Amino acid sequence: MATTTTTLSTFEDALDSLGVDCTRTTVEAFATTLDGIVRDPAVGVPLPFNIEYPESVAVDPTAADLERAATGVTPASLGVANYGSVLLPSTADGTEPVSLYPELHVPVVRASDVVPGLPEAIDHFGEVAGDRAESTIVATGPSATADMGALVLGAHGPETVHVVMLDE
C-alpha cells in the first residue's frame, strides 16, 4: 500500500486542479501501469530508476519515431507539491523533445522526490546543478496559450500530461 503524506496529497490535488491525471504505481507494476496510460506509438528516454519499460514504449527514439509519437515518457527529477509542477532535467543528448512533441507527456517521478514547494525544489536543484552544470525545465500542466484569443492546449508542447508517481 502506498504511503500518503501531506506533501503527496497536496501534489495530487494540485495536479487535479490543473486537469492533470496522476497514477501511483510500484516498481513491480510499472510496465503494466504505463501500458494502460500511453497512446501508441509511444517513445521514451532511459529512466534513472530501477524499472523496465513495457514493449509498447520505444526507448531512444529516432527523429522519425518522435515525429509519429502520440506519447512521450520522461523522468522527472522532482515534483513540486504546491504547484503540481515537475522538474524535467535537460540532458546532453537532448531528451527534451520527448516531453514536448507528442500530444501526451508522461513524466515519471518518485514519490520520495516530491517536495512541498518551490524553495525546496530550488535548494535541491541548486546543489545538483552546481555539481553537474545542468539545467532543468519546470513544467506545470499541459502547454497552453491564449495569445490569439481562446485558450489553446498543446500549442507549444503537450496537450495532455499524465504524471506517474513511483512508490519504491
Q: What is the mean pLDDT of each run of 10 residues along the chain (168 residues)?
A: 82 94 96 96 92 92 93 95 91 80 95 94 73 71 67 68 94
**Peptide linkage before 158 cis (omega within 30 of 0):** no
The pTM is what?
0.89
In a domain, 155, yes or no: yes
pLDDT of residue 141: 72
The upper half-sphere exposure of residue 111, i.e. CA atoms within 13 Å in the direction of its Cβ, equals 21
Residue 89 lies in a domain: yes
Are the C-beta atoms of residues 8 and 165 closer than 8 Å to each other?
Answer: yes
Q: Give the domain range for residue 99.
A: 6-167
pLDDT of residue 36: 96
| 84 in a structural domain | yes
Question: How is residue 110 annotated by DSSP?
Answer: E
Domain count, the chain: 1
Question: For residue 3, what is its C-alpha cell?
Answer: 504511503
Task: State residue 13's pLDDT score.
Answer: 96
In the prediction, which pLDDT does 60 show?
Answer: 84
Give domain status of residue 1, yes or no. no
Q: Is 69 a domain residue?
A: yes
Determine, yes or no, domain membership for 58: yes
In a domain, 30, yes or no: yes
Instruction: Decide if 28 is inside a domain.
Output: yes
Q: Are strands 21-26 and 160-167 parallel, antiparallel or unpaired?
A: parallel
The CATH number of the domain where 97 resides is what?
A: 3.40.50.10420
What is d(CA 53, CA 36) in angstroms, rounded to the nearest whole number? 12
